[in-house]
Structure 1
Amino acid sequence: MEQQSLPRWTDWARELQALAQAGLEYSKDPFDRERFQRIRDISAEMVAEGAQLPLERVKTLFCGESGYQTPKLVVRAAVIREGQILLVQERNGLWALPGGWVDEDQSVASNTVKEVMEEAGIQVRPLRLIAVQDRDRHHPTPYLYGVCQLFVLCEALGGGFVPNLETLGSGWFSPASLPPLDLDKTTSEQIALCFTAHADPNWTVPFD
């Protein structure tokens, strides 16, 4: 899978944003805080100019958090039964492993259960961790912020698809008959990894 690369200026913008956010969190001097805020604004202006996006939208998406900046967490559930894996159809028509951002009030396990129920209507029990991945190393389109993906092997307990705001449908697929995948969320290599982990009771978790 060929990976795209973002322009070099995006690395500078990301670093400036992270430094500014940390400065705003820990600095007490009002003059220093003013300087850090200006650095943060510059990082947003760089992204808005380079990506041809409205500045206020960039500030909301790129500069909307506080505290020390760390990668965001995403969970992806691998629910496998009878040689098939559960996928959900996204609003764009493409398919992916059920999952999403880890909410602040959830653990990795509970968030995985919640996401599968919301997106596929299936009640699951998390069994074990499959992999921990740096998102940008495994998907063709990089993000402007860091994302850590956690793949969780799950057992299906019951249920069925319920119409919802996030997905159009769900289905069970074998490795040889995968539907068109949303490569920003799930790749065929990741699905193959899930099947390999499912078949190996002594699986060693790979991590980036």
Structure 2
Amino acid sequence: MDTQPWLDWAVELQSLAQAGLYYSDNKYELERYERIREIAVEMMAYKTPISKEKLIGLFANEVGYQTPKLDSRAAIIKDHKILLVQEEDGTWALPGGWVDVDQTVHDNLIKEAKEEAGEEITVDRVIALHDRNKRNAGTYALEITKVFALCTSHGGEFKPNNETLQAKYFALDELPEMANHKTTADQVRMCFEAYDDPNWEVVLD
């Protein structure tokens, strides 16, 4: 059975419940919205490997009208090779991650490249804004917009950290096993195409 509609319904229920909890001031309606959120969490926990406790924690801090979260990814290309970082499970991805609440997308790209790859970079131009659930493996409990940007390295050195095992440059025809829930080979290919095209138009999902 295809689980995608089930998960889509659960995500929509969670979004409706979150908005109701924020905008309603009727205690009976609040109780109903809280129960709808609980059902949504139970549905997602049943159909995904994410535990109910983790899902509750994920949504507990969410208030107001639900909008997508931002994930930034730095495409750092040098000598026609792209910089990837190795995840704890051995797969590889573009350096990046959640955009912190006190950071702009621009500044977050710089921060993540430094923390995960040890690279000092400048951000040149946006490549794409991708809908994560449409483009990457697995369905996440939240809607996520992934921002890809071309960046220039100004040197640096990888340092051990609690997020990545190593950083290395790869040519397009020698890509390692990708962390497809974070970065796919198609997304890396897109970054190379943008690098080679000065008239590249931003891909907008």
**Which residue identity does 1:180 align to in structure 2?**
E
- Aligned match for 1:159, one of 140, 156, 161: 156
1:11 alignment counterpart: 8
Instruction: Measure, in 2, the Cα distance between the counterparts of 1:50 and 1:81.
Output: 41
Unaligned runs of 5+ in 2: none
SS of alignment partner, residue 183 of structure 2: coil
- Aligned match for 1:192, one of 186, 189, 202: 189
Unaligned runs of 5+ in 1: none
Aligned-residue identity in percent: 48
CA contact (8 A) 1:25 1:67 kept: yes
Instruction: Measure, in 2, the Cα distance between the counterparts of 1:73 and 1:53.
Output: 20
Please say which of residues 164-173 and 198-207 is displaced more in the overlay: 198-207
Please say which of residues 123-132 and 65-74 is displaced more in the overlay: 65-74
- 1:117 corresponds to 2:110: no
Instruction: Measure, in 1, the Cα distance between the counterparts of 2:146 and 2:49.
Output: 28
**What TM-score results when the alignment is normalised by the length of structure 1?**
0.92
Deviation at 1:53, TM superposition (A): 6.0
Instruction: Measure, in 1, the Cα distance between the counterparts of 2:195 and 2:155.
Output: 19
- Aligned match for 2:176, one of 176, 179, 184: 179
Deviation at 1:58, TM superposition (A): 2.7
Deviation at 1:50, TM superposition (A): 3.8
Deviation at 1:19, TM superposition (A): 0.5
- 1:90 corresponds to 2:99: no
Describe the superposition over 1:133-177 as per-residue Cα deviations: whole angstroms up to 9, x where unpaired. 111221232222211011010000111101100000000111111
Deviation at 1:7, TM superposition (A): 4.1
Residue correspondence of structure 1 range 16-31 to structure 2 within 5 A: 16-31=13-28
**What TM-score results when the alignment is normalised by the length of structure 2?**
0.94
- Aligned match for 1:170, one of 167, 170, 188: 167
**Which residue identity does 1:19 align to in structure 2?**
L
- Aligned match for 1:130, one of 124, 127, 131: 127
Question: Using a 3 Å threshold, how does the CA distance of structure 1 residues 54 and 113 change in structure 2: closer, same or farther?
Answer: closer
2:66 alignment counterpart: 69
2:204 alignment counterpart: 207
Question: Using a 3 Å threshold, how does the CA distance of structure 1 residues 115 and 54 change in structure 2: closer, same or farther?
Answer: closer
**Which residue identity does 2:149 align to in structure 1?**
V
CA contact (8 A) 1:76 1:150 kept: yes
- 1:78 corresponds to 2:75: yes
Q: How many residues align?
A: 205
RMSD: 1.7
CA contact (8 A) 2:44 2:141 kept: no
1:39 alignment counterpart: 36
SS of alignment partner, residue 77 of structure 1: strand
- Aligned match for 1:150, one of 130, 147, 161: 147
